[in-house]
Amino acid sequence: MLNILPRIRIPLRCYSAVLTARNENFAKVKQSDIMAFENFLGKDGVQKDDISNHTTDWTGQFKGHGSLVLYPKSTDEVSAILAYCSKNKLAVVPQGGNTGLVGGSIPVHDEIILSMNKISQQFAFDDTMGILKCDAGFILEELDNKLAKHGYMMPFDLGAKGSCQIGGNIATCAGGIRLIRYGSLHAHLLGVTVVLPDEQGSVLHLGSDIRKDNTSLHTPHLFLGSEGQLGVITSVTMTAVPRPKSVQSAMLGVQSFEKCCEVLKLAKSRLCEVLSSFEFLDDAIMECLKTNLGLHPVLNSPTPFSILVETSGSNEDHDMEKMSAFLDELLSKKLIVDGVLAGSSADAAKMWKLRESAPLAVTRDGYVYKHDVSLPLNSYYELTNVMKERCGDLAKRVVTYGHLGDGNTHLNITSSKQNENLEKLYVSILIPILLLIFRMYPFLYEWVVAHGGSISAEHGIGQLKLPYSNLGKESEERLLTKKLKNIFDPNGILNPYKMI
């Protein structure tokens, strides 16, 4: 039973893997290719067996069929690999921590996996200017710990911080929970070293190591969110931010979505420069956290919406004064009905555990359809209500959490995984799932675009959203990106069947 499930899941979940046939212009990996790679990487730089963790994404939704993982240790080795693959028409998928949610970092057919795991030697930090320069294979949390020694931190934070790599963060323009305070990665990226998939394996140093440089097209930013389409990032130069000395968290119970927006407005004006997070959870995800993970809400009385607000600053007294005044005002204006202010880091950790465990809690339901869309706030929660009505009994749960402060909603729709016997499989599982899928798509994405939103706020396009990637984009823009891709990757060998 267990081993049949993945087989029926593949056609269901990975439309593009099914729809996109293998491009027969690409060569297949031969023994001579493997020997060539072993020649310039050494035997330990080439892996042929036990590579399933490189061909499957962490959610288990996507599975590719690659048979080879390469581990270059330097930019030069990446250059040698890409030059060889370009000459021999071998398709390549660059891979960092493999924590993406749209199937962008795993092979679709038989692409060679270019793992960045071993490119993590160079690290330099200027603690006056706060400028970091490091290899692309460093893990986000590792970098953050290194910066802590200098009183700095990375300007973004996400659930996958223990596994994701900085190169992948740049390639996917990772968002996360601090965006409201520090801005997107565009505000921080200064330069990248990239290797192009051309016959020379060209190495380019784009941007610079200084804060201000307005002398060219902002080429490093082309690679920000490029999803491995243009080149392989091997080194990153970016700014870090001073590590806050005082962090305050509060969980607020709110009765209506309109009031959530009022609370956000007030938070922006009252907490101002210390506001560092404004996260949103509805009662459906709270229920899911309780049932699936045994995590109990922090608030005593259940409310339709919970908001997690965080401040980060340099002076505890100052921040507390602002936070207290803000909370006083919320209560006196009756914008919130309940709330808890964290009295210690243990309290704060419990609040954040709820928000950070939300992605895990939904997976326990069985099948989960994750969404990452951004919308103007007046349509933000309307989407949830529309989908609830549309999916009806076909869905087990329709839950919403997300970065309200950025207009980014993670709407998740789940359905149960039933353990029926084999004969009943198609009737009892497949049909309801197909019905649910046809209910959801493309309706959901079309709805989002029609309401002025984006079908991918921070997760990107990858394989998952490729069928919808022209929604909300003018055909001229699609054409322009194709032309750009062609300049960087004339043979189209880098991360094919995705995004562009």
Site residues, another protein (CB under 8 A): 148, 245-247, 250, 252, 298-300, 314-316, 327-328, 330-331, 336, 338-347, 349
Distance CA(90)–CA(356), nearest Å, equals 39
C-alpha 475: how far from chain center: 25
Smallest gap from Cβ 342 to another protein, in A, equals: 8
Smallest gap from Cβ 343 to another protein, in A, equals: 5
Distance CA(67)–CA(113), nearest Å, equals 8
Between 128 and 301, CB nearer to another protein: 301
Distance CA(108)–CA(496), nearest Å, equals 8
Between 322 and 410, CB nearer to another protein: 322
Query: Residue 488: helix, strand or coil by DSSP?
Result: helix
Between 151 and 162, CB nearer to another protein: 151
Quick one: angle between helices 4-13 and 431-440, nearest 10?
Answer: 20
Distance CA(444)–CA(440), nearest Å, equals 6
Residue 456 near residue 465, CB atoms below 8 Å:
yes
Between 196 and 342, CB nearer to another protein: 342
C-alpha 383: how far from chain center: 21
Smallest gap from Cβ 328 to another protein, in A, equals: 7
Smallest gap from Cβ 350 to another protein, in A, equals: 8
**H or E element at residue 339:** strand 338-341
Smallest gap from Cβ 188 to another protein, in A, equals: 25
Distance CA(74)–CA(89), nearest Å, equals 22
Smallest gap from Cβ 344 to another protein, in A, equals: 3
Query: Residue 318: helix, strand or coil by DSSP?
Result: helix
Between 294 and 343, CB nearer to another protein: 343
How many other C-beta atoms are found inside a 10 Å radius of the C-beta of residue 210?
12
Query: Residue 478: helix, strand or coil by DSSP?
Result: helix
Distance CA(338)–CA(251), nearest Å, equals 8
Between 195 and 260, CB nearer to another protein: 260
Smallest gap from Cβ 351 to another protein, in A, equals: 9
Residue 34 near residue 27, CB atoms below 8 Å:
no
Between 65 and 245, CB nearer to another protein: 245
Smallest gap from Cβ 129 to another protein, in A, equals: 22
Between 338 and 372, CB nearer to another protein: 338
